[in-house]
Amino acid sequence: MADTLSLLGLLLDFAGALLLVLHRFPALEVTADGRSMAPPQAEPSPQERARNLRRYWRNAVATRAGLVCLCVGFALQLLGFIYPDNGTGATGTTTMQRHVSFAAGRRHGG
């Protein structure tokens, strides 16, 4: 189960990163009212404004979905690490329990 959670988290992280790369943050190109952020600040035509609005909302939704995928993916990977399998699975294989330890400020020798 832990490996499945980690794999699912990794896939969600990949999907989230891909969404963020393909659909940049929407405020960088157009505004929420359909105006372009390009230097000529003339009033856009109705067709151009509609196209800008579609692009703005498509990018806004894709950006939020990418961020949600990243957050959920990291949470699933963390759950898979914190709660490892402790016994036999459905296939009869065992998973070794992971232990995390560190020595903070411990000195060795004399």
What backbone phi and psi angles, to 5 degrees, belong to 16? -65, -45
Q: What is the pLDDT of residue 6?
A: 85
Produce one character per residue of 18-54: b if its CB has 16 or more CB atoms within 10 Å, e if not. Answer: ebbeebeebeeebeeebbbeeeeeeebeeeebeebbe
Question: Which sequence spans correspond to the domains of the chain?
Answer: 2-82
Distance from C-alpha of 59 to C-alpha of 96, rounded to nearest angstrom: 43
Q: Residue 70, SS3? A: helix
pLDDT (tens digit, 9 = 90+) per residue, 9-64?
888 889 888 888 887 765 566 777 777 666 666 677 888 888 878 888 888 888 88
Distance from C-alpha of 80 to C-alpha of 71, rounded to nearest angstrom: 14
pLDDT (tens digit, 9 = 90+) per residue, 76-87?
888 888 887 765
Q: With a threshold of 0.75, does the pTM exceed it?
A: no
Q: What is the pLDDT of residue 45?
A: 81
Q: What is the pLDDT of residue 79?
A: 86
